[in-house]
Structure 1
Amino acid sequence: MSIPRLFTEHDLRAGIAVPAAPGQGRYLGAVMRKKEGDAVVLFNGRDGEWRGRLGPIRKDDAALIPEGMIRPQPPAAGPVLLMAALKREAMEWVVEKATELGARAIRPVITARAVPDRVNRARLTLIAREAAEQCERLDVPEMAEAVPLHAALDAWDGTPLLVAAERRDAPPLANLPPGPPPAILVGPEGGFTGPELDALARHPFVALVSLGPRILRAETAAVSALAVVQAIRGDWAHHTDE
């Protein structure tokens, strides 16, 4: 039987039990058929990855007991993804795949052609947590509230922001030189409007890039851009097996 890997918001200290998150107890007992004393793996995005064991399980309540560190916590280093709000299923898929690809944060933005009533932050946070548990990363990407694009840009910290700009004369993303991972902005189905692209291009931290000769669906564009950035500037380029 596989060992469950679980995210917790609590500090991890050897021998100090922490409560399972809502839903985890039922998952462990009813779905995984685990019992008190069985092994678990725990992480919280701060204290590294820990081996542990299950304490008592009662319906949806369970205790998780950390025992010893397996891996130390690395610094957060992945790219930030700004994603125009999509329809529910597409947005959930993007969050799952962006988590697997190592995005440090996911920030939904509202654009002229976005779907603003589809952004459920709590649901997307849960999807990111479950994806992090499955792909063995040691943190969960920050999930921000959806804000208008202009508000996100006004509050931007100056980190280089690459904008996937279809139908614009822009250099290929694959030509990105080595360096720290930039942030990525991907538009909605139908793309950014002309005035939105013009406004973006006026910001000194923004660079328009091309994702190739074909017009991609928004969710495909997000995954493709993250994969290229991770391969050139992220942990795909620097990863080594322990």
Structure 2
Amino acid sequence: MPATPAWPPKSAPRLFVEGALSRAQSVSVEGNQAHYLARVMRISPGDTVILCDDISGEWAAEVIEVRKREIVLRAVEHLRPREAVPDFWLCPALLKKDRFDLVLEKATELGVARIQPMITRRCVADKLNTARARQIMTEAAEQCARTALPEIGEPQKLDALLRDWPTDRIIFFADEDGGEPARASFASHSGPAALFTGPEGGFDDRERELLRSFHNVQPITLGPRILRGETAALAATALWMGVSGDWQT
């Protein structure tokens, strides 16, 4: 007798939708999401789509109707609640567009709670399309089966970001001039944390002095080599997740 196929199928497409979901609720998707389901995934009535609402978690939904510009689904079963992610902020200096896109995508996959872009003196960019950034992060969350979307902040200048910094959140500052080894530093602190990484040209002397004088900063070193901005941000995030985050379980 053949085995009963797993349900929902692992191949089912995943989408984030706006608004809280509930059992038997009808959901309509349009635009790019409808195009993706109909033209790329070739879904048909009766097929399964996994929906996430960033509120209640993950739902299996049945495709009810495939229209020309709209897909109608019905939430069938609540699969799992919205996940709890470590209270870790990544605060990277803005980089060139393609490199910063990589940071947004991979940091989402790694499990950060918030990405707070910084503007420093040596940044080659000083603006970010946050709507586009949010879309990149949403697609990354869908790909990696994440049920909680990270927050994205508007870019802030370094001094302004420090001015309003929460007193209970330690800053790990990736300093090219050296500091405590990152792994040991991560292991010695618990609670809310953030990682500051620099732009292509690094932090300048004045910025480095400002950071080192701040009351809640721990300078760290990321090894013997000078890393690109995107490499430093992602390598250190991965290390933090392994030492203090949700990679321990």
The two structures have a TM-score, normalised by structure 2, of 0.90
Q: Which residue is equivalent to 2:195?
A: 184
Secondary structure, in 3 states, of the residue corresponding to 1:37? coil
Name the structure 1 match of 2:115: 106
Preserved contact between residue 123 and residue 201 of structure 2 (Cα < 8 Å)? no
**Aligned CA-pair RMSD:** 1.6
Q: State the Cα deviation string for residues 13-39 of structure 1 (Å, max 9, x = none).
A: 001112326410010001111122210
Contact 1:163 1:184 in 2 (8 A): yes
Question: What one-letter code is carried by the residue in structure 2 that aligns with 1:188?
Answer: P
Whether contact under 8 Å (2:83, 2:148) holds in the other structure is no
Distance 1:60 1:86, change over 3 A: farther
Say whether 1:39 aligns with 2:58. no
Question: Structure 1 residues 181, 212: CA separation in 2 closer, same or farther (over 3 Å shift)?
Answer: farther
Q: After superposing the two structures, state which structure 1 stretch, 109-118 or 32-41, moved more.
A: 109-118
**Does the aligned pair in 2 maintain the 1:188–1:218 contact within 8 Å?**
yes
1:74 Cα offset (Å): 2.8
Percent of residue pairs identical: 39
Gaps of 5+ in 2: 1-8
Structure-to-structure mapping, 1:19-58, within 5 angstroms: 19-20=28-29, 22-58=31-67
Distance apart, 1:118 and its partner CA: 4.9
SS at match of 1:139: coil
Find the counterpart in structure 2 of residue 160 from structure 1: 170
* 2:171–2:193 contact (8 Å) kept in structure 1: yes
Distance of aligned partners of 1:15 and 1:164 in 2 relative to their CA distance in 1, 3 Å threshold: same
My pick for the range that moved more, 20-29 or 129-138, is 20-29
Where do 5+ consecutive residues of structure 1 fail to align? Answer: none
1:109 Cα offset (Å)? 1.0
Query: Residue 60 of structure 2 aligns to which amino acid in structure 1?
Result: R
Normalised by the length of structure 1, the TM-score is 0.93
Which secondary structure state, in structure 1, belongs to the residue aligned with residue 247 of structure 2? helix
Q: Does 1:70 find its partner at 2:79?
A: yes
Structure whose CA Rg is larger: 2
Count of residues paired in the alignment: 237
Cα distance in 1, alignment partners of residues 23 and 87 from structure 2: 29
| Alignment match of 1:87 (pick from 71, 82, 96) | 96
Distance 2:57 2:20 in 1: 10
**1:215–1:24 Cα change, 3 Å:** same
Is 1:150 matched up with 2:133?
no
Q: CA deviation at 1:60?
A: 3.3
The CA deviation at 1:208 is 0.9
- Distance in 2, matches of 1:71 and 1:101, equals 19
Runs of 4+ in 1 over 6 A off after TM superposition: none
Alpha-carbon distance in structure 2 between the residues aligned to 1:31 and 1:119: 29
Deviations 1:134-193 (A, max 9, x none): 101111111111111111111211201111111x23111011225235211111011100
One-letter code of the match for 1:57? Answer: V
- For residue 4 of structure 2, what is the aligned residue in structure 1? none
Distance 1:200 1:21 in 2: 46
- Per-residue CA distance 1:19-69 (angstroms, 9 max, x = gap): 326410010001111122210111122201111112323233222321111
Alignment-derived partner of residue 233 in structure 1: 244
Is the alpha carbon distance of 1:55 and 1:147 closer, same or farther for their aligned partners in structure 2, counting shifts above 3 Å? farther
